[in-house]
Amino acid sequence: MHFRTKESMTGYLSLLPAFAALAAIVFYPMVNTFFHSFTKWNGAESHWIGLHNYTFIFTNGELWTLLRNNTVFLLSIPGILLLSLVVSVLLFEEVRGWRFFRSLYYIPTILSSVVVGMLMKMMFAQSGVVNQFLHALGLTDGKTEWLTQVPTAFMVLIFCFYWQTLGQGALIFFIRPVRHLARDI
């Protein structure tokens, strides 16, 4: 066997575990999900129904609502990146208490989604902190049902996403670039 061929073979063999992990973590679930899209599956057993799920999606009438909601959510993502950049610049100005605020912004990131959901449910309840605060400012009557109306519930969902990912974006995505920016910028 030629030296270059042997060296190439060693390189390809060293990539094999990574490709096996990729297949197990990404490709198998994708293929499995595609297969289950043609079945009626309750989590334990499934039976073949063909294209029924796809015809249901396109004839149900909710497809455009779902696509609109996904588009609005997708378009809100650049906002979190911009806000994360602003927060990271502010956090790395070493003013009094900057370490405390750096930790405070990261706490929502380490909370589980269930905990964040429960917290938001309590905050945006009819007798929650948000309604009380807005009522104290005279902006609402204090009886807004944030989570039962589609537009406001969607805004709460986007706010929840922003709140939970702000610390991650501020402290991970921009930590290196912001620390090395010239002071005069």
Note if the pTM is more than 0.75. no
- Rounded distance between C-alpha atoms, residue 27 and residue 35, angstroms: 12
pLDDT digit string (tens) for 106-140?
788 888 889 988 999 999 998 899 999 999 999 88
pLDDT digits (tens, 9 = 90+) for 146-168: 988 888 888 898 888 888 888 77
Q: How many domains does the chain have?
A: 2
Structure tokens at 140: 């609402």
| Domain around 7 | 3-58
Nearest 5°: phi and psi at 48?
-70, 130
DSSP letter (8 states) at residue 171: I
d(CA 5, CA 11): 10
41 with 65, same domain: the answer is: no
Residue with tokens 């906002």: 79
Classified as helix, coil or strand, 138 is coil
Tell whether 99 is covered by a domain: yes
